[in-house]
């Protein structure tokens, strides 16, 4: 029996002993049955702060007696006071309302379109991810990209007796063996007055990598489009739409007709899209972020993305090394994978667009790395 197994069994014994003492404590049962998502990040994010230029949230007035607390209070005066408090709360509410929201769809891809500029939406969407249990490892308004860390969906855990009453106290005893992260990409609409918001999911799973099943490794898992839908719906509600209206928008998206072919040419050193530049830009942008590239800079006028690529396996391993139990115990430093920088260039060719890989100074890159990058983009686009 190894050290990890001994520690887990000791913790389990302690948990069972504590269960005898605390089985009557209903506050331990904090997991809501039937939830689709209940994420817990490996890292703890900073608490949200209300910027000084925003109106503070109105305090709860439900149990406060209006007027002079020492004066006699009639039922009529109390009711009027509550009505006044409700009106004040509505006036002071800081939740922006964005009535102009709808869902566009092309093929299997869906995205949110909001009648507001990216700078008007940025902080609200940033807070949305933090409120849903994620720590943001990237939030760059200049590139319009947010990325969460790798998080575990605790809603996948079986709700047996022990988990029900002790899981939230001894969570280290339980693990789903999967991790998810999400990227959010902001793009201006063609008229420049609105924002297209794309949410993409990446997943990793833990698998045995030895015959005796003594060691494990993380490998990419199939992304779940259903999670994109869940968070698009939750985001629409956060931006002020009712949950039922958000569901209707997702059930009835606006179809965007467009060709989906993406063909490798020039011995795999070019990717030809059967789209004009605007559509190709959106597709490549989404593919870059879904595949796990980090966007250093993007310039739509010049048709280029400067990117840094680290494989999802290496990124998650580094995160696990620094956030695991023994990593925290011994202060193990995060192992930094060494990325490489590339330029993904789009060239308008009439009704088509050609994508190539270059060095950051604009020189064509004719290597196996360039072929691999274009293969990744082709797979994501198709």
| C-beta of residue 233 within 8 angstroms of C-beta of residue 246 | yes
CA distance 136 to 133: 10
> Structurally, how many domains does the chain consist of?
3
Structural domain includes residue 9: no
59-83 pLDDT per residue, tens:
333 334 444 444 454 555 545 555 5
- The structure's pTM equals 0.62
DSSP letter (8 states) at residue 193: S
Domain boundary among 257, 280, 310: 257
Structural domain includes residue 27: no
105 & 229 share domain: yes
| C-beta of residue 153 within 8 angstroms of C-beta of residue 180 | yes
Q: Please identify which residue in the block is written with the tokens 């991810």.
A: 129
Structural domain includes residue 43: no
Domain boundary among 257, 290, 320: 257
Structural domain includes residue 4: no
Structural domain includes residue 52: no
193 & 316 share domain: no
196 & 235 share domain: yes
Domain boundary among 257, 282, 306: 257
141-196 pLDDT per residue, tens:
988 889 999 988 877 766 555 555 555 555 555 677 889 999 999 988 888 889 99
Of 185, 203, 187, the C-alpha closest to 195 is 187
Sites in the chain below the pLDDT cut of 50: 1-35, 45-71, 73, 78, 88-95, 325-326, 328-330, 332-334
Q: List the domain range (segments joined by +) for residue 218.
A: 95-257
292 & 201 share domain: no
Structural domain includes residue 184: yes
193 & 118 share domain: yes
Structure tokens at 51: 């910027």
Of 343, 332, 326, 350, the C-alpha closest to 172 is 326
């Amino acid at each position: 029996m190894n050290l990890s197994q001994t520690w887990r069994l000791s913790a389990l014994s302690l948990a069972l002993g504590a269960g005898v003492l605390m089985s009557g404590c209903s506050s331990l049962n904090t997991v809501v049955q039937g939830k689709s998502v209940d994420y817990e990040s490996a890292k703890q994010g900073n608490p949200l702060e209300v910027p000084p230029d925003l109106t503070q949230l109105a305090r709860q007035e439900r149990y406060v007696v209006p007027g002079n607390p020492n004066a006699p209070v009639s039922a009529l005066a109390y009711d009027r006071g509550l009505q006044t408090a409700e009106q004040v709360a509505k006036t002071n509410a800081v939740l922006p309302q964005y009535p102009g929201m709808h869902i566009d769809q092309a093929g299997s891809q869906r995205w949110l379109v909001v009648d507001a500029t990216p700078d008007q939406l940025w902080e609200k969407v940033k807070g949305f991810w933090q409120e849903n249990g994620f720590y943001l490892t990237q939030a760059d308004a200049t590139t319009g990209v947010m990325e969460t860390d790798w998080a575990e969906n605790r809603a996948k855990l079986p709700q047996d007796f022990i988990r029900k009453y002790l899981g939230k106290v001894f969570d280290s005893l339980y693990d789903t063996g999967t991790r998810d992260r999400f990227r959010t990409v902001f793009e201006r609409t063609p008229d420049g007055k609105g924002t297209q918001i794309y949410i993409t999911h990446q997943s990793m799973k833990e698998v045995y990598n030895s015959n005796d099943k003594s060691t494990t490794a993380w490998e990419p898992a199939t992304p779940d489009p259903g999670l994109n839908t869940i968070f698009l719906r939750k985001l629409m509600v956060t931006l002020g739409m009712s949950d039922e209206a958000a569901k209707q928008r997702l059930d009835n998206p606006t179809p965007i007709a467009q060709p989906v072919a993406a063909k490798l040419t020039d011995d795999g050193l070019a990717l030809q899209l059967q789209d004009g530049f605007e559509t190709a830009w959106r597709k490549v942008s989404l593919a870059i972020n879904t595949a796990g590239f980090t966007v250093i800079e993007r310039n739509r006028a010049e048709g280029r993305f400067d990117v840094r690529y680290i494989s999802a396996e290496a990124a998650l391993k580094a995160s696990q090394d620094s956030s695991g139990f023994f990593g925290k115990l011994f202060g193990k430093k995060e192992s930094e994978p060494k990325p490489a920088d590339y330029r993904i260039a789009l060239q308008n060719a009439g009704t088509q667009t050609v994508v190539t890989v270059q060095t950051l100074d604009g020189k064509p890159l004719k290597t196996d790395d360039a072929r691999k990058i274009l293969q990744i983009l082709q797979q994501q686009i198709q």
